[in-house]
Amino acid sequence: MTLLEQRYRSVLRLLPASYRAEREEEMVDAFMEMYGDAPDEINPRPPWGEIASVLALSVRIRLGAAGSAPRFLVWGETVRLVALIGLAFQAAVALSGVGDLLRGVSADSESDYFGAPGSPERLLAIVVTIIGACTAVAFTAIMRGRPRAAKPAALLGLLPAVYVLVKHVVAGELILPLENSAQLASAAVPVIALFAGFHADVSPVRRSWWLALLPVGGALALQGWAQVSLAWGQVDSPWMYLWMDPAGAGIAVFAAIGVFVLARTRSSSWPLALSIYGVLLLLPRLSLLAYAHEGEVGRILWVTVCGQCALLGVLSTALAFAGLRALPPARPALGDRLVRP
């Protein structure tokens, strides 16, 4: 075995063992046909492009490419669900923010938040809010079977979270960058899942428009929840404060869906995807524990955060356990290996 062949076989170890068992020799022969004349004396190495292609193939196989093992098909579906759930929530929050902006720019009482009329601060608030709404474009594109169009829109939708983090870091604030970093991580993971899960080997699925427009309904629900809270006079209640923001509403919806999935679903992808997204909801809430709350109100807020974190942690763990327990076996049974269709 030449040095180059040995190194190619090392690179191919990035692939799952089941895939290598069927394709390794074929792939090595193809690589050596292109580069096999290189003598050991020149210390030959596989080109970086070949290594990148093998790595990309490894990701695709592990996330449900054609011919993948049943367990990899489940993980691929799980990653795609993480992208859909995450982008749906972000889109609902972004569209609700558009509603707040439209209402706020016409109200003098909101000028401190959105900036004075004609000021650069107001223009920046408008631009950031509109860019954030690109997550709604990304979600709609995926649901309508156009993942390629969804990917750049999802990246644009991340820019407001990056902007907020950079702004607080530049301002030298110590606590807010921790919370903003957690929020950015929670927003970035679904985008990463979008790029990883909706790869070239996955056939796009075109879903109905009413599913594609779910974030609009979510935004209206968030707006309605805020108005109901105002009407009931719960805005100033410290017990309700952390349930009235979008993250609090998201935790409540997550809990309801998580309990339903645990009770009714026997598949793996939904529990696993929800458990992952539960962790993404948990990260920003954990960062709130760093705040030094003082007084009675501070203690109530701290207790509320602890309760939300406990709810997310317990339910995410239960969902992960249920999903992992229902996963197909890593290796086929002996009868499945002996009997081939």
- Is there a domain that residue 97 lies in? yes
Question: Do 37 and 4 contact (CB within 8 A), yes or no?
Answer: no
Residue 87: name the closest of 163, 3, 7, 192 by CA: 192
- Is there a domain that residue 267 lies in? yes
pLDDT confidence bin for 227, thresholds 50/70/90: confident
Same domain, 154 and 278: yes
Average pLDDT (13-25) is 85
- Is there a domain that residue 135 lies in? yes
Same domain, 143 and 221: yes
Same domain, 257 and 109: yes
pLDDT at residue 270 greater than cutoff 90: yes
Residue 66: name the closest of 21, 19, 8 by CA: 19
- Is there a domain that residue 336 lies in? no
Mean pLDDT of the chain: 84
For residues 36 and 160, the model is more confident at 160
Same domain, 139 and 8: no
- Is there a domain that residue 216 lies in? yes
Q: What is the pLDDT of residue 106?
A: 66
Same domain, 75 and 137: yes
- Is there a domain that residue 331 lies in? no
Same domain, 166 and 42: no
pLDDT at residue 238 greater than cutoff 80: no
pLDDT at residue 57 greater than cutoff 80: yes
Same domain, 275 and 293: yes
Same domain, 35 and 74: no
For residues 234 and 124, the model is more confident at 124
**Last residue within a domain, chosen from 62, 80, 103:** 62
Same domain, 79 and 125: yes
- Is there a domain that residue 333 lies in? no
- Is there a domain that residue 340 lies in? no
Same domain, 212 and 230: yes
pLDDT at residue 209 greater than cutoff 80: yes
Q: In the chain, how many domains are there?
A: 2
Same domain, 26 and 80: no
Q: What is the pLDDT of residue 135?
A: 95
Same domain, 210 and 236: yes
**Last residue within a domain, chosen from 40, 62, 84:** 62
Question: Do 31 and 50 contact (CB within 8 A), yes or no?
Answer: yes
Q: Which residues contact 115 (CB under 8 A, 6 or more apart)?
A: 121, 122, 123, 124, 125
Dump the DSSP string for 184-211: HHHHHHHHHHHHHHS-TTS---B--HHH
Domain extent for 162: 70-325
